[in-house]
């Protein structure tokens, strides 16, 4: 059996992988820590490793994995902005991902963030638990009739667009590869930013999309705009977002990702001092809702992730061509 080191292991992952790995001829060893150049030494003696969104798969890590004898890296996620594919190729390491596991899971989480913010159910929940049944300060807004801008119409973005359109919104979209048959109005990003009452991000993080929502972008937005991000944190300039929340330009923000999340998300830091002042201040705002990169966290998605990841590894070790292998020249789609 091929041996796989599973980094950043969580209890909710193990159930699904434990059921599939033995039948695929894989022996998994779960490691709780994140993968970094320093922890890559733990992969010595393993044939492959399994990594997640906040693991460091840069050049230093790739060389360390190569020296440890690792031949395959299986990402149990769609995005791979944390992977140096050129270094992987030089090291002779094959990298695989899960391009589509459950678009509905992420799209529905984005919608949940949006509806929670527009109706302030997160604040109402906190109040009623303290036996405060006052409605003062809980006036919401309807989505019907508003313009929702969807940035990125891959599998997730398209599902979100279709879902939110059913609520009576007008959807405009931006994507370098428009899905013309989807019945969406496509426009340039700068126009989308100017027109949208809601901006929801569903695109990959690339050098071109880094800080897509910059200070200048926020300046061009409509007053009271709602920002939703379930893709990658660095699509948004977090300090600019905070300033615009404080000024009232941004009416609300729902964030499932954050650009400096790696050392915080997926961890219990409730008894520690949080050194990230920007995140601290965002969390303190009543119109900002932050979840811990959990949009993927459904039974259906976890099952699909495990199945595809295991199949990717089984195919590689069997010498088969694997459709989900990543190469440096390829562009990312989500």
Q: How far is the CA of 286 from the CAs of 157, 246, 289, in angstroms?
A: 27, 11, 8
Q: What is the pLDDT, as a whole number, of residue 36?
A: 96
Q: What is the pLDDT, as a whole number, of residue 332?
A: 43
- Between CA 231 and CA 238, with CA 232 as vertex, the angle to 5 degrees is 120
Q: What is the pLDDT of residues 194-229, one digit of tens each?
A: 999 999 999 999 999 999 999 999 999 999 999 999
Please give the structure tokens belonging to residue 306.
């495990």
Note if 38 is an active site residue: no
Q: What is the pLDDT, as a whole number, of residue 329?
A: 65
Handedness of CA 134, 109, 173, 222 (dihedral sign): positive
Note if 165 is an active site residue: no
CB of 42 closer than 8 Å to CB of 31: yes
Reply yes or no on whether the pLDDT at 333 is more than 60. no
Residue of 34, 155, 202, 293 marked active site: 293
Pairwise CA distance, residues 267 & 184, whole Å? 39
Q: In three state form, how does the secondary structure of 172-234 look?
A: EEECCCCCHHHCCEECCHHHHHHHCCEEEECCCCCCCCCCCECHHHHHHCCCCEEEEECCCHH
CB of 227 closer than 8 Å to CB of 256: no
Element (H, E) at 156: helix 155-165
Please give the structure tokens belonging to residue 31.
């490691």
Residue of 34, 76, 232, 314 marked active site: 232
Pairwise CA distance, residues 37 & 28, whole Å? 21
Note if 232 is an active site residue: yes
Catalogue all structural domains in the chain, each as residue range(s) with its CATH number. Answer: 2-101+298-326 (3.40.50.720), 103-290 (3.40.50.720)
Element (H, E) at 161: helix 155-165
> In the 8-state DSSP scheme, what is residue 35?
P
Residue of 2, 108, 259, 261 marked active site: 261
What is the pTM (predicted TM-score) of this model? Answer: 0.92
Reply yes or no on whether the pLDDT at 330 is more than 60. no
């Amino acid at each position: 059996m091929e041996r796989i080191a599973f980094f950043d292991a969580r209890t909710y992952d193990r159930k699904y992988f434990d059921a599939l790995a033995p039948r695929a001829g894989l022996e998994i060893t779960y490691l709780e820590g994140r993968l970094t150049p320093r922890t890559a030494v733990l992969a010595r003696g393993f044939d492959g490793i399994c990594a997640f969104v906040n693991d460091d798969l840069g050049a230093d890590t790739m060389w360390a994995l190569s020296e440890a004898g690792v031949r395959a890296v299986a990402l149990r996620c769609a995005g791979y902005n944390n992977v140096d594919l050129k270094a992987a190729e030089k090291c002779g390491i094959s990298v695989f991902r899960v391009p589509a596991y459950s678009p509905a899971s992420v799209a529905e989480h984005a919608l949940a963030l949006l509806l929670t913010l527009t109706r302030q159910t997160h604040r109402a929940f906190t109040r009623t638990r303290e036996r405060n049944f006052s409605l003062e300060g809980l006036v919401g807004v309807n989505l019907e009739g508003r313009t929702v801008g969807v940035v990125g119409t891959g599998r997730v973005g398209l599902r979100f667009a279709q879902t939110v359109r059913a609520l009576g919104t007008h959807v405009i979209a931006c994507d370098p590869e428009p899905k013309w048959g989807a019945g969406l109005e496509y426009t340039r990003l700068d126009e989308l930013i100017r027109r949208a009452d809601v901006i929801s991000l569903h695109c990959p993080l690339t050098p071109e999309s880094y800080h897509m929502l910059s200070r200048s972008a926020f300046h061009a937005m409509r007053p009271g705009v709602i920002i939703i991000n379930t893709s990658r944190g660095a699509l948004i300039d977090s300090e600019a977002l905070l300033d615009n929340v404080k000024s009232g330009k941004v009416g609300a923000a729902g964030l499932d990702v954050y650009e400096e999340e790696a050392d915080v998300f997926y961890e219990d830091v409730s008894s520690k001092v949080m050194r990230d002042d920007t995140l601290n201040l965002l969390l303190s705002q009543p119109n900002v809702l932050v979840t811990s990169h959990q949009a993927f966290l459904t039974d259906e998605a976890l099952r699909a992730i495990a199945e595809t990841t295991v199949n990717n590894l089984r195919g590689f070790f069997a010498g088969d061509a694997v459709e989900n292998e990543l190469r440096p020249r390829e562009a990312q789609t989500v």
